[in-house]
Amino acid sequence: MIKNTSSNQYYLKEGKIGFLLLCLFILLGISHPGKSIAIIPQPQEVKMGVGAFKLSAKTKIYIPKEYADDLKPYLTSKLKTDLGMDLQVYSGRKTGSNHYILFEKSVDISLPSEAYQLRVDPDKIVIKAGDYAGMFNAFQSLRQLIPVGASGEINIPVLAINDQPRFAWRGMMLDVSRHFRSKEFILKQIDQFSAYKINKFHWHLTDDQGWRIEIKKYPKLTQKGAWRADREGISWWQRSPAMAEEPKPVGGFYTQEEVKEIIEYARIRNVEVIPEIDVPAHSKALIASYPELFCFEKSNFEVAVGGKAPDNALCAGRENTYQFLEHVISEVAALFPSPYLHIGGDECDKRNWLKCPHCQITVKDQQLQNVEELQSYFIQRMNAIVVSKGKKMIGWDEILSGKGAKGATIMAWRRGMHSPEIDAPRSGYPTIMTSFQHSYISQVQGPNELEAEGPKGIVTLSKLYNHEPIPQELTKAEADLVLGTQACLWAEFTPTPEHTEYMLYPRALANAEVAWSNPAVKNWSRFQSTVEDHFARLKRDDINFSRSLYSIYGSYALDKLNQKAMLYLLTEAEGYTIYYTVDGTIPTSNAMRYDGVVALKPGMTVRAGLFDKDGNLLSSKLTELKLK
Ligand code: ACM
Ligand code: ZN
């Protein structure tokens, strides 16, 4: 039982009064003592009480007038889809009613931005927050207290939540270049992310395989740059380059009107949309559209179709590169209200710069030591452009090389290969953690043989969940420069919307909790069971989530001398039982139970599945091993 210091009579206190009250409520059949709640991300402080608030069609909801334009339609529509009820939402002062939900603007200035208090009593629910974001977040927690499929009169347990985010940056990145996703798909994901208090949507809009945003001054960026030859169905790394005369049917882009619609939809959901225009490299789609921005005279560029994309860096020496980018950034900056603009800066192959006369003249004129410093020069010019448009520049951690990138915010992705997660904050850069090892959800989430093709590496739900973004090496002052953390979905291996969702969920929920909840309230076992509870919500929202949590990792060691094969079966999911067969049949809960390493005969074929206590198979993807 959670200890409670509140004086409110409805909260359980240790001792007799609490016990008597508990008995009374149980006798009256109106309480859920001990029933745990399933909120993701886990709030910082929850005090469970006794009893319930009864939500019904008669419940009135009051919201502050100043937020009515945004909050009223949002609340009304969510309550309708969650509950199938048309609840009345009133803006302004509460009148008369004694059974209500009240959103109250707090005058408590100690309440940080996005924080909220949510108190459920038997006769009322009161939400207090200092800003719109806090109200929105409180509502997400409240929604998650309503059981899926509930209708009629719904019991919401008496409780008190005090909550605020650990990090201000709680991001999700989606690459729409490698595979374009429709406006409707983007809206659906923003809606889902926001339900888990994700507040930044990093939109990777340009790359070698497609330019996805309309730029009015440069129409060829989308006339040519948004379309590529069809190599779908062929493994990413096996694709032959596109030919000039081939049709280019694969792709798509967002018009500026569509971008505005997405930004507005996100704003109502407390999600800021940060555009990424990835330069100087990852720019094959741009170069295919405007080849004059390449180092050398060459005109037969095509948008990349997959595999490696050589010659994908813009010329860093030509002045017209900067003029062009200034116009692009100008349009993008005007479109997106975010204070940030991401310019990429990653993975630049600088070999052409070594040979290019324009690049070499710039190296000489600017007294640069090498092409690493030419990259810094390029990044500093980009920074000047971005700042001149009233924005702050973000770049991937490569922009630290050479002379650094004064004024930039860094996305530290190469943790484990380099140490940007330490170097960037230590050098005074505001830093967002995007560790490829922990947060690149383009990697598969289960055993390779049970998942579709992907990049090397596995990021299981628990690996992402247990990731601690702040490295131990940082001092408090350095750690304060960490703005937050973000999961990234690169899209080389996600050809369909269904597969994109499969990769996003449920790992987006783990990322949300890493970003929101303090380490002290995180716990894998609880998170696992909460996520399992949320599968019903994802299903209700028509999300194609993965059940790889239930996959079994199988391996064996052969002992030829003794004619034995030692079988190892592991799962990240806790609380279930593995059953397996050795005769090629599909296992049921009547098969052999796996209780630890077991010695089998070489030559056998093991098939294993994970089962719940009622004997239900949790994932249809069985692990199969031939002990040879
Ligand atoms: C990256 O993964 N190239 C940022
Ligand atoms: Zn050049």
Q: What is the pLDDT of residue 22?
A: 38
What is the CA(313)–ligand 1 centre distance, in A? Answer: 15
CA dist 382 and 365 (Å) reads 18
Q: What six digits make up the tokens of 182?
A: 């429709």
Q: What is the pLDDT of residue 83?
A: 85
Per-residue pLDDT at 71 exceeds 60: yes
Q: What is the pLDDT of residue 17?
A: 40
Topology of domain 551-626 in CATH is Immunoglobulin-like (2.60.40)
More confident residue, 354 or 57: 354
Lining residues, ligand 1, CB within 6 Å:
346-347, 396, 413
Domain extents in the chain: 38-163, 169-548, 551-626
Q: Which residue has the tokens 């992402």?
A: 464
Helix (H, G, I), strand (E, B) or coil at 150: coil
Using CA atoms of 23, 25, 29, 30 in order, give the dihedral in degrees to the nearest 10. -160
Angle at CA 618, nearest 5°, toward 613 and 620? Answer: 145
What are the catalytic residues? 207, 282, 347
Of the ranges 6-15, 183-192, 295-304, 517-526, which one carries the lowest mean pLDDT score?
6-15
What is the CA(347)–ligand 1 centre distance, in A? Answer: 7
Do you know the residue count of the chain? 628
**pLDDT single digits (tens) 191-200:** 999 999 999 9
User: pTM of whole model > 0.85?
Assistant: yes
Question: Quick one: which atom of ligand 1 is closest to the CA of 347?
Answer: 3
Q: Whose Cα sits closest to atom 2 in ligand 1?
A: 413
Q: For residue 4, name the pLDDT band (cuts at 50, 70, 90).
A: very low
What is the CA(396)–ligand 1 centre distance, in A? Answer: 7
Question: Quick one: which atom of ligand 1 is closest to the CA of 344?
Answer: 4
**pLDDT single digits (tens) 384-432:** 999 999 999 999 999 999 888 999 999 999 999 999 999 999 999 999 9
CA dist 448 and 425 (Å) reads 35
**H or E segment and range at residue 236:** none
CATH code linked to domain 169-548: 3.20.20.80
Average pLDDT over residues 597-613: 97
Question: Quick one: which atom of ligand 1 is closest to the CA of 440?
Answer: 2
**204 neighbors 181 (Cβ within 8 angstroms):** no
Q: For residue 21, name the pLDDT band (cuts at 50, 70, 90).
A: very low
Per-residue pLDDT at 11 exceeds 80: no
Q: Which ligand is nearest to the CA of 414?
A: 1
Sheet of strand 623-626: strand arrangement? 592-594, 577-581, 605-611, 623-626
Q: Whose Cα sits closest to atom 1 in ligand 1?
A: 346
Question: Quick one: which atom of ligand 1 is closest to the CA of 490?
Answer: 2
What is the CA(436)–ligand 1 centre distance, in A? Answer: 8
Substitution candidate for ligand 1 out of 401, 410, 413 with most atoms within 8 A of CB: 413
More confident residue, 30 or 363: 363
CA dist 180 and 186 (Å) reads 10
**461 neighbors 510 (Cβ within 8 angstroms):** yes
Phi, psi torsion values for 45, nearest 5 degrees: -150, 125
Q: Which ligand is nearest to the CA of 351?
A: 2
* Strand residue runs (E) in 468-587: 482-489, 553-559, 564-570, 577-581
What class does CATH assign to 38-163? alpha beta
What is the CA(323)–ligand 2 centre distance, in A? Answer: 15
Q: Whose Cα sits closest to atom 3 in ligand 1?
A: 346
Same topology for domains 38-163 and 169-548, yes or no?
no
Substitution candidate for ligand 1 out of 276, 347, 486 with most atoms within 8 A of CB: 347
Strands 605-611 and 577-581: antiparallel
